[in-house]
Amino acid sequence: MNVINHRLQLLRARMQEHGIDAYVIPSQDPHQSEYVAEYWKGRAWISGFTGSAGTAIITMDYAGVWTDSRYFLQGENELADSEFILERQTIPHAPQHLDWLANHLPKGATLGFDGDVFSVAQINRLRNKLAHLNIQYAYAKDLLNDIWTDRPALPQTNVFELPTAYAGQSRAEKITAIRAEMGTAAYYLVTGLDDIAWLLNIRGSDIDFNPVSISYLLIGKEEVRWFIDDIKVPESMKTQMVSEGIELMPYDALAPFLRQLSPGMKVLYAQAATSVLIYEAMEKEQWMRRANLIRPLKAIKNEIEIGHIREAMRKDGVALLRLYRWLDKELKAGRTISEYDLGEQLAAFRAQQGNYHGESFSAIVGYKGNGAIVHYRAEQDSCAQINKEGMLLLDSGGQYTEGTTDITRTICLSEPTEEQQRHYTLVLKGNIALSRAVFPKGTTGVQLDTLARMHLWQHGLNYGHGTGHGVGFFLNVHEPPQGFAPSPKAGRGLTPFEPGMLTSNEPGYYKADAYGIRIENLEICVEKMETEHGPYYGFEPVTLFPISTKLIKRDLLNTEEQQWLNDYHQKVLNELLPLLEAEEQAWLKEQCAEI
């Protein structure tokens, strides 16, 4: 029997034992992380679909995986040989699987899921959607534990200190700032792994790409309790933490600790970030809903962080330069390079830069038609071979002690067609328009997103993803709350920009089965001027690498756009030339030649 179908059979047997009619398996962990440790990749294990976003629903006669358009092709391929059906989510960020449940579950049915990974907000949404069906809920037990016999253990990697010389603020300063916002509450519960890492000035490697450690944090008026497996914390750090009023407790001790709090004690929490099993450890009257207190502080990088970010960008620019020169040399020698090997080679060049901690996400190396698959992932045994023709899209990033990078460049390995140049230049015009924007305080990403699309729209073209996301400081490459999005349904589009926010600017265009185009820089929000009506802000690109001029249709760029590009390339030269050998300098000067 097919291994996935066999797993389905085992799960259905457990469902039958527990009287469960439908079982839901999401992609999250108890911390609602974007990337999760192998232990929590239950949806991938049960279905075979390995995309980072998706929800599986299993009944006795149905099995489906819901995911968005980024993963339609991948989903078709990975689910093809199993009973699972790919359910295409047509509205981004909308939980359309709830509609399926509402339409297919019988009245009085029992719906099961692991309450450790479902947030309070998610179960409330479920209950509201299914209220007319009188559904019973079973979430105290993770049924996968019974059948996933070789389930990976929770990671136990060591945490390490991020010195204040990099963070710009001490733990004590950050904790004091949070306590000032707590009001009458006795505690503030922090579940987000990047929030904890930022607040405590620690980093880890429990999860691929995100330098975080799996833990919880409870901030009290006088003390702080850090719930983390003891083996992960070096003795010297334990001693220092205790001296600062931070008590270490086992990772699984949070719920028992909450249960013993006196009824009068109130705990601040976020519904979208707190699992239902943690929530039910106390009476609901003890919980006080609050917006995330850490995100607004974390999003605004201080001057120390910004200085280090500029250094990370220099390192990244040198690594990318060596990668593209290496590729050019290999192709000129008549060799082909696989998409997978190109990504591996880039990671190797980044590692040579020092203070490198790995990729900030799995590199997207899309050659020709693969570039049109927005979140394409090259598999070693089946990916395309790159040769000296066609277009190549490379979206990648690195984690350095000095900061997190995320950059996309698109090049043409042969003479481009007029169509390719026109599409590329329209994307570039959008990138430049957003980078040159000047706007009043209070302006949000959903207002600015149009600037990146307007030139494409004039030709009846568009792209199906947001234009940008916040980026952490040596933390998660996707960091809320701000970003550029076309719809207010994507929360990041509703956050006003403030000086110090680091955000990606990445418009694109994708021609199915032919090529993909994306141009991405990271931008720091800066103050542009003070007026009688208040401050006006704008952006400064901090990414340092040439934008391909070979693909530009120059009569589509106006004078201001040409000047922006020339100024940007001069900045790249100023920052990178001192770090390069003579031959590398010559290559960079050629790439950055004025247009």
For 553-566, what is each residue's pLDDT tens digit? 999 999 999 999 99
Helix (H, G, I), strand (E, B) or coil at 464: coil
Please determine, for residue 413, whether its predicted confidence score (pLDDT) is greater than 90: yes
List the structure tokens of 410: 């698109």
**Residues 184, 449: Cα–Cα separation, whole Å:** 39
DSSP per position, 285-318: GGEEE---SSHHHHHB--HHHHHHHHHHHHHHHH
Q: How does residue 89 score in pLDDT terms, banded at 50, 70 and 90?
A: confident
**Residues 207, 364: Cα–Cα separation, whole Å:** 19
CATH superfamily of 3-147: Creatinase/prolidase N-terminal domain (3.40.350.10)
pLDDT at 499: 98
Please determine, for residue 175, whether its predicted confidence score (pLDDT) is greater than 90: yes
Nearest to 65 by CA among 38, 88, 37: 88
Please determine, for residue 91, whether its predicted confidence score (pLDDT) is greater than 80: no
Q: 300-591 architecture in CATH?
A: Alpha-Beta Complex (3.90)
The strand pairing partners of 154, in sequence order, are none
Q: How does residue 160 score in pLDDT terms, banded at 50, 70 and 90?
A: very high
Cβ count near 418 (within 10 Å): 8
Helix axes 303-332, 559-576, angle to 10 degrees: 90
* 3-147 matches 300-591 in fold: no
Residue with tokens 């900045």: 571
Task: Work out whether the CA dihedral 87, 92, 98, 102 comes out positive or negative.
Answer: negative
The DSSP call for residue 493 is G
List the structure tokens of 93: 């960020």
pLDDT at 94: 72
- Specify the pairing of strand 110-112 against strand 439-440: unpaired
pLDDT at 92: 63
Average pLDDT over residues 299-315: 98
pLDDT at 444: 98
State which fold the 160-295 domain adopts.
Creatine Amidinohydrolase; Chain A, domain 1 (3.40.350)
pLDDT at 72: 85
Please determine, for residue 347, whether its predicted confidence score (pLDDT) is greater than 90: yes
Please determine, for residue 287, whether its predicted confidence score (pLDDT) is greater than 80: yes
% of residues, the chain, pLDDT over 70: 99
Please determine, for residue 93, whether its predicted confidence score (pLDDT) is greater than 70: no
pLDDT at 358: 98
Please determine, for residue 306, whether its predicted confidence score (pLDDT) is greater than 80: yes
pLDDT at 491: 81
pLDDT at 96: 87
**Residues 148, 47: Cα–Cα separation, whole Å:** 13
For residue 331, count CB atoms less than 10 angstroms from its CB and return exposed for 0-12, middle for 13-18, buried for 19 or more: middle
DSSP per position, 253-279: GHHHHHHTS-TT--EEE-GGGSBHHHH
Angle subtended at Cα 336 by Cα 330 and Cα 340, rounded to the nearest 5 degrees: 100
Average of per-residue pLDDT values in the chain: 96
What letter represents residue 214's amino acid? Answer: I
% of residues, the chain, pLDDT over 90: 94
Q: What is the pLDDT of residues 205-263, one digit of tens each?
A: 999 999 999 999 999 999 999 999 999 999 999 999 999 999 999 999 999 999 999 99
Q: What is the pLDDT of residues 317-339, one digit of tens each?
A: 999 999 999 999 999 999 999 99
Q: How much helix, strand and coil, in percent to the nearest 5, is found in the chain?
A: 40, 20, 40
The strand pairing partners of 84, in sequence order, are none
Nearest to 189 by CA among 281, 107, 98, 115: 281
Q: What is the model's pTM?
A: 0.95
Residue with tokens 């277009």: 391
Angle subtended at Cα 14 by Cα 9 and Cα 16, rounded to the nearest 5 degrees: 95
Please determine, for residue 1, whether its predicted confidence score (pLDDT) is greater than 70: no
Q: What is the pLDDT of residues 359-410, one digit of tens each?
A: 999 999 999 999 998 888 898 999 999 999 999 999 999 999 999 999 999 9
The C-alpha torsion from 555 through 556 and 560 to 563, rounded to 10°, is: -60
Helices assigned H by DSSP within 216-267: 235-243, 254-259
Q: How does residue 69 score in pLDDT terms, banded at 50, 70 and 90?
A: confident
Domain assignments of the chain as residue spans, ordered by start:
3-147, 160-295, 300-591
Q: How does residue 122 score in pLDDT terms, banded at 50, 70 and 90?
A: very high
